[in-house]
Amino acid sequence: MKVAITSSGNTVKSNLDKRFGRCSFFAIYDTETTDVEFIPNPNKEAEEGAGPASVQLVASIPVNKIVSGEFGFKIKSLLVDLKIQMIVVKEPDMTIEDIIKLLSQ
């Protein structure tokens, strides 16, 4: 299973990015191989539509879950329709590595 984690940087030491649609990177964690791939978010600077465009990006990978600090209202319904689980993490100091450890338990 693949999990997208919104990230402020492109290493496992980077912090979780609280924004879904405008995050800097998506860390794609494969729970079976434990591989982590960082994908730059091309929608970060979009004037509008960053959220739906980011949903299309991660859905094309495809992922089963997304971990982020928050999801916009429009995004929630899109992800529900795509059967992608949303996990909200409210601790801003968590790193990608911390989140992967939690997902691995």
| CATH classification at residue 54 | 3.30.420.130
8 by Cβ neighbours in 10 Å (0-12 / 13-18 / 19+) ranks as: middle
Helices (H), the chain: 50-59, 73-81, 96-103
83 Ramachandran zone, left/alpha/beta (phi>0; psi -120 to 50): left
Bridge partners (DSSP) listed for residue 27: 5, 38
Q: What is the pTM of this model?
A: 0.96
Based on the structure, what is the number of domains in the chain? 1
pLDDT confidence band for 73 (50 / 70 / 90): confident
Range of the domain at 77: 2-103
- What would the two tokens of residue 29 be? 């964690």
Over pLDDT 90: what percentage of the chain? Answer: 93
pLDDT, one tens digit per residue, over 4-52 is 999 999 999 999 999 999 999 999 999 999 999 999 999 999 999 999 9
